[in-house]
Amino acid sequence: MTGPSLEPQRGRTLTTRARILDAARQELARHPDSSLADIAEAAGVARRTVYGHFAGRSALVEGLCEEAEGALRDSLTAIEPATSDARTALARFVVTLWPVADRYRMLLCLAPQDLGAEQVDGVLGPARATATAIIADGQRQGVFHTSVPPLALSRAIEAHILALLECVSSGTWTDDGTHTATSALIAAGVDGDLAAAHIRHLGPPELRGAREPGRPLNHAPSVRLGREARDRLRGGKPCSQCSPCGGQPCTCPDTAANRPTNLGTTTAPRT
């Protein structure tokens, strides 16, 4: 059999595998104890087809972990080169990775025998390294509190975000990542109002410094906003104290009057 003739079959195989994983993701989110038979039914394939791709439940979970790990790596790659401000970097990091974390949050509900610590480390490793580096930068800049070492503070914020994901699963929390990012900044030691201002200045997804996976870093989308749209994104009118604004007291996080004077003081994010 020639090489080209194998391509359609390979494509169908990959499509079926992806459909099984997608069904598994949805079924396990609803019922963590779902069997392979349940997942096969949800995917619209025979049980033997599932076994043709995955030897058992553990192999299926491993497939989901590999998919989640790849999605996280793509999202990390899609973030523009680091900003000099660690507060903006942490906000952008959380907002960009939140959709992936939300998509694969069902992994948090699986029993320990399904998902071991080694698998968790494999999925979260690159994101953990990036978060720890951002925290360390923020502590050097004096914008994050320094009472906890960067690694420990990063893991504490991770636990906080994972807890919010569990709340999403239970139906007690919904978010697009912006409120989660605000709370992450507060946990790092940023004043609540200032944290909310940083999130507002990220703008909509296409302006948050992220690019489409595969798009070169020097070809990120460029969008110019009119004053009215810019004001709407920032949650207020423009001001005269900085160039992006123009008529009212400034709310920009980098304006001197709006910088925190006590990093230990936190307030709840505005909704």
Mean pLDDT of 84-93: 92
Residue 240 reports pLDDT greater than 70: no
Rounded Cα distance between 20 and 265, Å, is: 48
**Could you tell me the domains of the chain?**
1-54 (1.10.10), 64-214+224-258 (1.10.357)
% of residues, the chain, pLDDT over 70: 68
78 — pLDDT class (breaks 50, 70, 90) = confident
Q: How far is CA 83 from the centre of its chain?
A: 17
What is the value of pTM for the model shown? 0.68
Residue 130 reports pLDDT greater than 70: yes
119 — pLDDT class (breaks 50, 70, 90) = confident
The interaxial angle of helices 57-78 and 3-30, nearest 10 deg, is: 100
Residue 20 reports pLDDT greater than 80: yes
Residue 267 reports pLDDT greater than 60: no
173 near 167, Cβ under 8 Å?
yes
* CB crowding 107-137: b at 16 or more within 10 Å, else e: bbbbeeebbeeebeeebbeebeebbbbbbbb
129 — pLDDT class (breaks 50, 70, 90) = very high
Q: What is the CA radius of gyration of the chain?
A: 22
Q: 165-204: per-residue pLDDT in tens?
A: 989 988 898 999 999 999 999 999 999 999 999 898 887 6
122 near 69, Cβ under 8 Å?
yes
Mean pLDDT of 52-59: 89
* Per-residue model confidence (pLDDT) at position 5: 54
* Per-residue model confidence (pLDDT) at position 216: 37
% of residues, the chain, pLDDT over 90: 39
229 near 244, Cβ under 8 Å?
no
134 — pLDDT class (breaks 50, 70, 90) = very high
Which has the minimum average pLDDT: 38-42, 80-84, 98-102, 207-211? 207-211
80 — pLDDT class (breaks 50, 70, 90) = low
Residue 89 reports pLDDT greater than 60: yes
* Per-residue model confidence (pLDDT) at position 81: 61
